[in-house]
Amino acid sequence: MESHTAYLTFDKYWQILKRRWIRSLGVFIPVFLLSLLASSLKKPSYEAEGKLLFQRTNTISSLTGVGAEIGKLEAVAQDQKTNPLNTEAEIIRSVPLVQETITRLVLKNDKGMVLKSKEFLEQLTVKEIKGTDILQVSYRDRYPEKSAKVVNTVMNAYLEHNVSSRRKEAAAARQFLQKELPNAELIVRKAEAELAKFKDKNRVVSLQEEATKAVEVITDLQKQLGESQSQIANVNAQAEDIRKQLRMNSQQAVATTSLSQSSGVQDILKEIQQVESQLAARRTILQNSHPEIINLETRLDSLKRILQQRIKQVVGTTQPQVNGNLQIGALQQQLTTELIRLESTRLGLIGQVAALSNLQAAYKQRLNTLPRLEQQQRQLERKVQASQSTYLLMLQKLQESQIAENQNVGNASLISEAQVPDQPISSPMVSYLSAGLLAILAAVATMYILEVRDKSIKTVDEAKDLLGLTLLGVIPSFGKSKKYTRGNEELELYSSRLIVRDTPRSPISEAYRMLRANLKFMSADKELKVIVITSSVPGEGKSTVAANLALAMAQMERKVLLVDADLHRPVQHKIWDLTNTQGLSNVIVGQAEIKTAINKVMDSMDNLDVLTAGVVPPSPASLLDSKRMASLMQSFAVNYDFVIIDAPSLNVAADAATLGQMADGVLFVVRPGVVDSVHAAIACDILEKSGQNVLGQVVNAVIPQNESHSYYYFTKESDFQEYSVATTRK
C-alpha cells in the first residue's frame, strides 16, 4: 500500500514536470548562468579556525564541592537531541560578543564604514565537532591575517564572558539568598506558632495515645450499658409479674397504698359500710319511699362525697384504683411496696443508662474528630518541617554562593588558536554546484507557482476526485479542429466532429460506444430514454459528445432523436450541416409542427433524427420551463427509443437544470484544460441542489500525454478495446 501511494505521488510530480518543463527550463538556464557569473566575479576568501573545549563542570568546583551547579552544561529542554554546546555556540554568535570583537579590531566593510553585526555573522561559523565536547570557531575574509585575528579575538572575548557570567550568577544567587533568608526564618517561626496554637486550642498532647485510650473507655462504657440494660430488663420482668398479681400498675399501687394508710379515708369507709349495712337491713322491712330509708340513702351519699374529697386530697384524683378496693391486706401491702421499689429501681437504672450513653457519645464524638485533628497536625508539622528545611538549605547555599563568587574559573578553555590560512576556500566545483542548486530551486519554484495559479482541471484523475461523479466515459482528443478564415471571421469545420460517422473503427468511436454501453448498464430496472447533456462552461465539447453519442445509439438500430436545446449558442445545425430556420423554439411557440421541424440527417441511417434549436428567442428560459416543453418531452419519450438533449452550459443559464427535471438523467461533460475547478464545483453544486439525477461524467478531449499510465489511450483499435474491457471490469 505504501509503495502504491509513493508511486502515485511520483507519477503526479512527473505529470507536473511534463506540463511545466519548458517554462522551468527558461528559468533554470538564466539563473544558472547568472550564478556562475557572480561566482567568477568574487574575490577568493580565506578561512581561519580555532577550537574551544568545554567541560560539564569546572575542575575546581568538582574538587571543592562548592558552586558545582553554577555554569553546569545542561540543556533546559528534556530532549535527547538537544545539545548544550549549541547553546554555547549561539552565545559566541550573540550581538554583544560580536560588537566587542568589532570594537577591539576596528573592523570595517568595503565602503570604509564600521562593520555591522549582521555582516560579521554572515562570515562567522560556530559548529560542534561531532563526538567531542569541542566547538570549532571559523571566520571567512579576503585577508588571511584578518580572519585569524577575528577568530582569536572572538574566542578570547567568549572566555572572558564565560568567567564573568559565572561570577555574575554566583553574585546574583548570593544577593537573592541574603534577601530571602529573613523571610524564610519568619516563615519558620510562623509555622511553629501555628502548630503550638493548634495544640493548645484542641487540647492535643498525643493524639495517638488519646485515640487508644478513647477506644478503651468506649468499650468499658458499652459493657456498663449492657449490664444496666440487663438489670432494667430484670426489674421490668419482676414488676410485670407483681402488676399481674395486683391487677394494677405502679401508679395505682402507689395510690392504693396511700389510701390504705390514710386514717381519714379508712374512717369514712367504715361509716359507709355501717350505713350500707343499716340500709340493707331496713330495706327488708321498709319500702324505699319510707323516710328512714331516704335518710339512710341521703347519709350514704354524703359519706361517699366526703370519701371522694378525701381520696382527691390524698392521691389527687377520685379514680386511682383499678378494682375500687380501698382496703388491702398485708400481702397486697407487701406486693404494692415491692412494686413501688422496683419502679424506683427501674427509673434509677434508666437514668444511669442515659448518663452512660451521653458519656459514650461524647467519647465517640471526640474519637471521630481525632482523624481530622491528626490530619491538621500532620499538615502543620509538615509545614514546619518544610520551612525549616528551606531555611537550612538557603543558609547552606548562601555560604556556597559566597565561596563560588570568589572563584575565577569557567567551564571552557582554549585548546587551539587560529592560524593564518595560506589557501583560499573557494573552488570551481563549488561554484558550479551552488549555481546548479540555485537554478534548480528557481525552476521548482516556477513550476510550483504556475501549478498553484492554474485552477483548471488537467487530468481524468482530477476530474474524478473533484466532482465525485461516476466516470462513464473517457473520450480521447482527436487533434485540433481545422479552421479557415473568411474575411475577419474565423469559422470552424463542425462537420469534422462526427467521429463515429466518419471513422467508425477509430479508438474515439470505440470510446463513444463504450459510453453507450455504460449508460445501458446504469439502470437495470428502468431504461434511460431521455438524457440531458450539459457542461460547466462553453467549449467543453458537450454538443460534440451529444452528436456522437446519438450516432452510437443509432448504430444499435434504435430510434434516436437529438434535440438542440441550447437556445443561447446552438451548434447542432452546424455539426449536421442543417438549416436552422425551424426548430425547437418554433415548435414550442406554435410556429411550426414537430414533423416539419425534425430533420433526417443521414440517408443510410433512417433511425436518427435531429431537432435543431430554431430561431434564438429573447427569453430561452421561459420557453424551456413551459408546459408545452414538458409535453414535447413526453411525446419524444413515447415516439423514440432514445432522446438526447443538448442543453446549455450551467454557467450560461439554468436551462439544463430545468430540462433535467423532465428527463431520466443528466450526463455531465468535463474537458481538461478548459474548465477550472471553481466552475466545475459550482456546476455540480447547482445539479445537486436542484435534485437532478446525475448519471455520471464524461471526460472529453483527453490528451494521452497528460495522463498517467493508470489510464490507457492508444491509437490502435485493439489496444483501445483493452482499455474498454478494463474500464468495464472496474
Q: Does the global pTM surpass 0.85? A: no
562 DSSP β-pair partners: 610, 644
Mean of the per-residue pLDDT values of the chain: 78
Residue 380 domain-assigned (yes or no): no
Question: Can you give the pLDDT at residue 397?
Answer: 85
- Does the pLDDT of residue 490 top 50, yes or no? no
Mode of pairing for the β-strands spanning 483-486 and 598-600: unpaired
Q: Per-residue pLDDT tens for 302-340?
A: 877 887 877 777 666 545 443 455 555 566 667 777 777
Is pLDDT of 619 > 50?
yes
533 forms bridges with which residues in the sheet?
Answer: 646, 667
Does residue 483 carry a pLDDT above 50?
no
3-class DSSP assignment, residue 558: coil
| pLDDT band (50, 70, 90) for residue 43 | low
The pLDDT-based confidence of 28 (bands split at 50, 70, 90) is confident
Q: Are 49 and 138 in contact (CB under 8 A)?
A: yes
Q: Which three cell numbers stand for residue 240?
A: 410485670
For residues 169 and 226, state if they share a domain: no
Residue 337 has a pLDDT of 76
Is the pLDDT at 714 greater than 50, yes or no? no
Task: Assess whether 616 and 490 both reside in one domain.
Answer: yes
Asked whether residue 153 falls in the same domain as residue 297, the answer is no
Model confidence at 140, pLDDT cuts 50, 70, 90, reads confident
User: Within this chain, do residues 492 and 579 fall inside the same structural domain, yes or no?
Assistant: yes
**167/216 same-domain check:** no
Query: Residue 180 domain-assigned?
Result: no
Label residue 531 by pLDDT band (50, 70, 90). very high
Residue 584: its pLDDT value, please? 92
Q: Over 60: is that where the pLDDT of 51 sits?
A: yes
d(CA 112, CA 114): 7
> Is the pLDDT reported for residue 604 higher than 60?
no
Residue-level pLDDT at 602? 62
Residues 595 and 506 in one domain: yes
For residues 285-307, average pLDDT: 82
484 is a domain residue = yes
pLDDT digits (tens, 9 = 90+) for 221-239: 888 888 888 888 888 888 7
Domain count, the chain: 3
Return the C-alpha cell found at 216.
478503651
Residue 44 lies in a domain: yes
Distance from chain centroid for Cα 518: 44
Please answer whether residues 702 and 475 qualify as being in contact, where contact means their C-beta atoms are separated by less than 8 angstroms. yes
Q: Residue 526 domain-assigned?
A: yes
* 421 touches 48 (CB < 8 A): yes
Q: Which helix (H) or strand (E) holds 682?
A: helix 677-689
- Give the amino acid at 449: I
In a domain, 9, yes or no: yes
Residues 548 and 633 in one domain: yes
| Beta-carbon contacts of residue 57 (< 8 Å; ≥ 6 apart) | 68, 71, 72, 73, 411
**Helix spans in 598-654 (H):** 620-624, 627-639
Q: What is d(CA 679, CA 693) in angstroms, rounded to the nearest whole number?
A: 20
Residue 535, helix vs strand vs coil: strand
Q: In what order do the strands lie in the sheet with 134-141?
A: 124-128, 134-141, 46-54, 412-416
Residues 495, 369, single domain; the answer is no
Would residue 398 count as lying in a domain? no
Whether residue 622 is found in the same domain as residue 689: yes
pLDDT at 330: 62
Q: Please indicate, yes or no, whether residues 128 and 218 belong to a single structural domain of this protein.
A: no
**Confidence category of residue 583, pLDDT binned at 50, 70, 90:** very high
Q: How high is the pLDDT of residue 532?
A: 95
Q: Containing domain of residue 87, as a range?
A: 2-175+413-429
Q: Are residues 159 and 248 in the same domain?
A: no
Share of the chain above pLDDT 70, in %: 77
| C-alpha separations of 611 from 356, 520, 561 in Å | 115, 23, 7
Segment among 95-104, 241-250, 381-390, 415-424 with least mean pLDDT: 241-250
Domain boundary among 429, 462, 493: 429
DSSP string, 101-119: HHHHHT-B-TTSSBPPHHH
pLDDT band of residue 7 (cuts 50, 70, 90) is very low
Residues 469 and 536: beta-carbon distance below 8 Å: no
150-173 mean pLDDT: 84
- In the predicted structure, residue 447 carries a pLDDT above the cut 80: no
For position 63, what pLDDT does the model report? Answer: 44
Mark which of 429, 461, 491 sits at the end of a domain: 429
Same domain, 419 and 300: no
CA distances 490 to 223, 244, 483, Å, are 122, 137, 7
Instruction: Give a yes or no: residue 386 inside a domain.
Output: no
What are the Cα distances from residue 464, in Å, to 151, 459, 470, 677, 698?
62, 9, 8, 11, 10
What is the reported pLDDT for 328? 58
Averaged pLDDT for residues 82-104: 87
SS3 (DSSP) at 564: strand
8 Å CB contact between 373 and 187: no
Tell me the three cell numbers of residue 596.
Answer: 416539419
- Cα separation, 705 vs 511, in Å, equals 17
pLDDT score of 586: 92
Residue 178 scores a pLDDT above 80: yes
DSSP 234-267: HHHHHHHHHHHHHTS-HHHHHHHHHHHT-HHHHH
Q: What is the mean pLDDT of residues 243-260?
A: 69
Residue 426: CB atoms within 10 Å: 15
Rounded mean pLDDT, 112-137: 88
The 10 Å Cβ neighbour count of residue 111 is 5
Q: Is residue 409 very low, low, confident or very high in pLDDT (cuts 50, 70, 90)?
A: low
Confidence of residue 655 (pLDDT cuts 50, 70, 90): confident
CATH for 593: 3.40.50.300
The stretch 18-27 carries a mean pLDDT of 71
